[in-house]
Amino acid sequence: MILNYNDVKDKPDTLRAMTSLNRDEFEELCKVFGEVWDEKTGQTEKDPSKGGRNPILQSPEDRLFFILFYLKTYPLQEVLAHLFGMSQGQANFLVYQLSEILRETLQRTGYLPARIPEEMIQNLADEGPQDLGIDGTERRIERPKDPVRQRQFYSGKTKTHTLKSVIVGGLEDRQIKYLSDTHEGKKHDKKVCDEEQIVVPAGSDLYQDTGFQGYQVPEVTIHQPKKKPRGGELTTAEKIQNRLISSVRVVIEHIIAGVKRCRIVKDVFRNTKDDYDDQVMELVCGLHNFRSDHRVICY
């Protein structure tokens, strides 16, 4: 049996498990996805009256289903090829081609997060005010063969080789407002902020954890739990304040958990194509924004 969209569209739990989307969300996204495919490739559905080999994925629905299935479940490409009735080489080509189509789709629909601080500031200016949260997240990668890269990507925090991204999210709408570049996992969260000069609008309330100790933004109220002093204890009032901050800041953790529904950023990352590690993080953040905009999410 070859996987295709028609076989699962009437199975809500299966469709969501395979793509992270329900049917209405899938078909809404597919409208733009199909338009982008036609523009980028100049291809439309094949006329059966004409000769030539049929395409492997014959409809926009099957193409979108293929790439969402890959991002959500992250099988080996040999397994992916078997499930969709193609060779491993064809599967490899389609993964990268359809990733570009999906990225353009999410860009056009306005769900990709900003990648430069100035863009985030401009986007937030057009939205209603809300509290913001910032946090870093690490993703495991295969152990590099080069000794220099082994040291570069080894994270003492997770005791493995990782990549790191910093995310700024809205604590009310659960949307990812900013996604940093992809860095080596050992790099400190604050250093990423300093290098990329991440700022939020003046007058904002920004919630962060102690990994951002020392990170300050002019005219922004920073809410950060207080560290226990060396050899001392926090007062009862300080403990209460820390719990209050954490109860608000936890939403950014939920946002990251939502992003990591897609196993391509949860499992050990295996792809070797240049910059694809950064592109997939952007894609899954865009998909998270799309989902959270279409659902009532209660935490």
- What is the full DSSP assignment across 56-75? SS-SHHHHHHHHHHHHHH--
CB 264 within 8 A of CB 280: yes
Q: Which pLDDT score, from 0 to 100, does residue 47 have?
A: 53
| CA proximity to 139, closest of 165, 162, 161, 168 | 162
Taking residues 12-33, what's their average pLDDT?
Answer: 96
* Tokens representing residue 15 in the block: 């469709």
> Percent of the chain having pLDDT more than 70?
94
* Tokens representing residue 38 in the block: 């036609």
Under DSSP, is residue 268 helix (H, G, I), strand (E, B) or coil? Answer: coil
d(CA 131, CA 126) in angstroms, rounded, equals 15
The 10s digit of each residue's pLDDT in 265-277 is 999 999 999 999 9
Q: Which pLDDT score, from 0 to 100, does residue 54 have?
A: 65
Domain locations in the chain as residue ranges = 5-108, 117-294
Name residues whose C-beta falls within 8 Å of residue 279's C-beta, 6 or more positions apart in sequence.
Answer: 99, 103
* Tokens representing residue 201 in the block: 């609008």
> What is the CATH code of the structural domain delimited by 117-294?
3.30.420
Q: Is the pLDDT of residue 51 over 70?
A: no
44 pLDDT band, cuts 50/70/90, is low
The 10s digit of each residue's pLDDT in 171-204 is 999 999 999 999 999 999 999 999 999 999 989 9
* Tokens representing residue 196 in the block: 């990329």
Residue type, 210: T
Q: Which pLDDT score, from 0 to 100, does residue 170 have?
A: 95
d(CA 292, CA 182) in angstroms, rounded, equals 23
Taking residues 21-40, what's their average pLDDT?
Answer: 96
Q: Which pLDDT score, from 0 to 100, does residue 298 have?
A: 46
49 pLDDT band, cuts 50/70/90, is low
Task: Indicate the range of 13-22, 48-57, 224-233, 234-243 predicted with least confidence.
Answer: 48-57
Taking residues 25-38, what's their average pLDDT?
Answer: 96
| Between 64 and 233, the higher pLDDT residue | 64
Q: Are strands 176-179 and 205-207 parallel, antiparallel or unpaired?
A: unpaired
- As beta bridge partners, residue 179 has 167
CB 205 within 8 A of CB 132: yes
Q: Which pLDDT score, from 0 to 100, does residue 232 have?
A: 86
| CA proximity to 204, closest of 194, 189, 192, 217 | 217
Q: Is the pLDDT of residue 110 over 50?
A: yes
Taking every pair of Cα atoms in the chain, the longest distance, rounded to a whole number of angstroms, is 81
Q: Is the pTM of this model over 0.75?
A: yes
The 10s digit of each residue's pLDDT in 249-260 is 999 999 999 999
d(CA 63, CA 191) in angstroms, rounded, equals 39
Residue type, 200: V
Residue type, 17: A
Under DSSP, is residue 160 helix (H, G, I), strand (E, B) or coil? Answer: strand
Kindly report the average pLDDT of the chain as a whole number: 91
Q: Is the pLDDT of residue 92 over 70?
A: yes
Q: Which pLDDT score, from 0 to 100, does residue 53 have?
A: 58
d(CA 274, CA 96) in angstroms, rounded, equals 11
Q: Which pLDDT score, from 0 to 100, does residue 132 have?
A: 95
Residue type, 273: K
* Tokens representing residue 195 in the block: 């290098």
Q: Is the pLDDT of residue 45 over 70?
A: no
Write the CA distances from 51 to 46, 58, 74, 90, integer angstroms: 9, 15, 35, 21
* Backbone φ and ψ of 194, nearest 5°: -65, -45
2 pLDDT band, cuts 50/70/90, is confident
Place of tokens 């953040």: 285
Q: Are strands 205-207 and 221-223 parallel, antiparallel or unpaired?
A: parallel
